[in-house]
Amino acid sequence: MSDYLPEVIPAGDMLSGKLDLRSFHPPVGLAVVGDPVSHSKSPFFHNAALRSCGLEMQYARVHARPELFAETVAALARQGCRGLNVTIPHKAAALDFVDEADDFARRSGSVNTILFEDGRTIGRNTDGPGFAAAVLEEFGAAIAELRIMVLGAGGGAGRAIAVHCAMQGCQQLVLVNRTMEKSKAIADDLDSFFSQRHGTGVKSVPWDTAALAAECANVDLVVNASSIGMRPGDPPALSVDAMRRGLMVYDTVYAGGDTPLVVAARGAGAKAANGLAMLLHQGALSFECWFHRIAPLDVMRRALLSNT
C-alpha cells in the first residue's frame, strides 16, 4: 500500500502492470482521463466530496493519449474504478466505447461521465446541465428565457451546451465555429426543437468580426466553448467592440482565473463569469451519477475555490 498518489498517473504505467490503482490507500476509485490532464481541478472537489460522504476511495488524474484511450478505460474498470470523467480529446471516443448512453449524450456526440455498474459501462454527459446550472448561479437566468450564442459549437462541450440549450427551449440559438460546416450540421440537427415555435430558431454564422458583432446585438448570452483563453497571451474570444452593457458573457475556460474574455466583457459593461461554476456543477452531476445520491455541493464548492 502507498499513501502517495502521483499528481498525474501515466496510462502506460498502469497498462504495463507497473502501477495498480488498488495499491494506494485509499484505493483509486474515480479518475479523470485526458490529454493533457495535469491542469484539471476536479480532484480537489471530488476528493473533498468523497471524504465528506465517508467513501473510502480517491480521485486521480490519468494521462492517456488518444490511441490508448479504450485500453486505459478498460484497465481502469478492471482495477476497481467506480467511474470516470472524460475530458479533451476523448469525449467523442467515450461515446463509442460505452455500452449505454442517454439521448442527451448521443445528441451531443460525446460522453464526459462513465459509470461502471453491474458489468456494464454507462455513459452520460453532464456538460450541458452543468452549464445551465452555472448560468443560473452566475446570472440568475434560466436557459429557456435566453437568446444564446455559442462560440466553438462544433464539438465537445460546445456541442453539448448547444444541444442542452435547444432541448431546454432557449429563445434563440446562434452557433459559431471556425469550421462552419460543423456548426451548420449541428444547427440542422437541432432545428426540430425550434420548428414549431413562432419567432425563434437556430442558425450557424461564420466566425468573423462583423458577423459576431451583428449577432451580439440580438442575443442575451454569449458562451465561449472554444479553447481560446486557455493559453497565455490568447486574445479575448470575442471583440470588445461586439460587447455591450447588459450582455451576459460566460467563458467555459477557467484556467488562471478571469480569462481575457471575462476581463474584456466587464470592461465593456457586460456581466461575465469564467468556467469554474460549470466545472463545479458538471462535477456534482457526475458524482450523483456514480453514487446515486445528492452531491455535497457546498463542500465541493469550498474545495474548488480554496484551490483556485
Residues taking part in catalysis:
91
Distance (Å, rounded) from C-alpha 250 to C-alpha 215? 16
Distance (Å, rounded) from C-alpha 210 to C-alpha 229? 21
Contact by Cβ (8 Å): 146, 169: no
Of 160, 183, 174, the closest CA to residue 203 belongs to 174
119 dihedral zone (left: phi>0; alpha: psi -120 to 50; beta): left
For the stretch 1-7, contacts whose Cβ atoms lie closer than 8 Å and that sit 24 or more positions apart, written own/partner, are 1/25, 5/58, 5/60, 6/60, 7/38, 7/61
Contact by Cβ (8 Å): 99, 79: no
Of 134, 182, 174, 166, the closest CA to residue 281 belongs to 134
Residue 225's CB is within 10 A of a number of other CB atoms, namely 29
Of 21, 30, 29, 31, the closest CA to residue 1 belongs to 21
Distance (Å, rounded) from C-alpha 109 to C-alpha 90? 11
Q: State the pairing for strand pair 58-63/9-10.
A: parallel
Helix (H, G, I), strand (E, B), or coil: what is residue 55?
A: coil
Distance (Å, rounded) from C-alpha 239 to C-alpha 124? 34
